[in-house]
Amino acid sequence: MSVTRSGLARSGLGPASGRFRDGIVTSGKLVVLAVEATKAATTDIVMRRFSWSEFLLQAWFMTRVSLLPTILVAIPFGVITSVQIGAVANQIGATSFSGAVNGIGVLRQGAPLVTSLMIAGAVGSAICSDLGARQVREEIDALRVMGISPVQRLVAPRVVAALVVSVMLTVIVAMTAMVTAFILNVGGGTISSGAYLESFVSFSQPTDLFLAEFKALVFGFIATIVAAHKGLSASGGPKGVADAVNQSVVLSVILLAFANVAITQAYVMLVPQSVA
């Protein structure tokens, strides 16, 4: 047995299998926490015992720390999108379609992704550090001793707040990026304002906005659950909290990328694309 273990260690299979097992365990814990948080939030809202004060406090905190950075990221995003798409449209002589490509690209992909990255980076790190500090100070254990569920008291209000803030930030990001692209294209004289807006209206659909908001809900939920899980499982003092915050941001970005691909593919396959 010792020979087998040493052989696995030398071949690298031992650590690899351990990391794979840890990944499976983490995935299971994330799913369990997501179910518990959803159940707690739904039950508390229906039974009228939801902590609305904590929800408002967290919603205001999330908005305060993410609104300005999100707008500052949305403006250069709109500039880059407009410049790149405008250059390609000029090369192939399709400048009349730049409004549709810019608007739909921002609405379907850009706005939810920018919002999710801000939620994962700014909001998720704050949630993870707060819950991690409570965990290492044994405040979470104290809540359990008093018969209070940490998921119900701390996680559920943050999840609901993140959903609301994600939806609102997505609209702000979409408007900021689209207005920026409109100003650059129309102000630069490459296309008239009427042609720009007409192309966007002709190709866009109401489902594009629904897709953006649905992505925002899913991304905000995933980022908050990951941050809460890493915070509640932090250990080892300040260094453990710092490691948990780093893991939270990295894992959130990876999961958001996979979720974005899955949702986009499902939308393309299930929703027929038509021109008005």
Taking only the tens place, the pLDDT of each residue in 17-63 is: 777 787 788 888 888 989 998 998 888 888 888 888 888 998 998 88
Q: How far apart are CA 40 and CA 50, in angstroms?
A: 9
CB atoms within 10 A of CB 195: 17
Q: How far apart are CA 53 and CA 248, in angstroms?
A: 26
Q: How far apart are CA 191 and CA 265, in angstroms?
A: 31
pLDDT reported for residue 105? 77
- What pLDDT is recorded for position 226? 92
Structural domain boundaries in the chain? 17-270
> How many residues can be counted in the chain?
276
- The answer to whether residue 215 scores a pLDDT higher than 50 is yes
Band (2; pLDDT cuts 50, 70, 90): very low
Q: What is the DSSP letter of 96?
A: G
* pTM reported for the whole predicted model: 0.83
H runs (alpha helix) in the chain: 2-11, 13-46, 52-92, 98-105, 111-118, 124-136, 139-145, 150, 156-187, 193-203, 206-232, 237-270
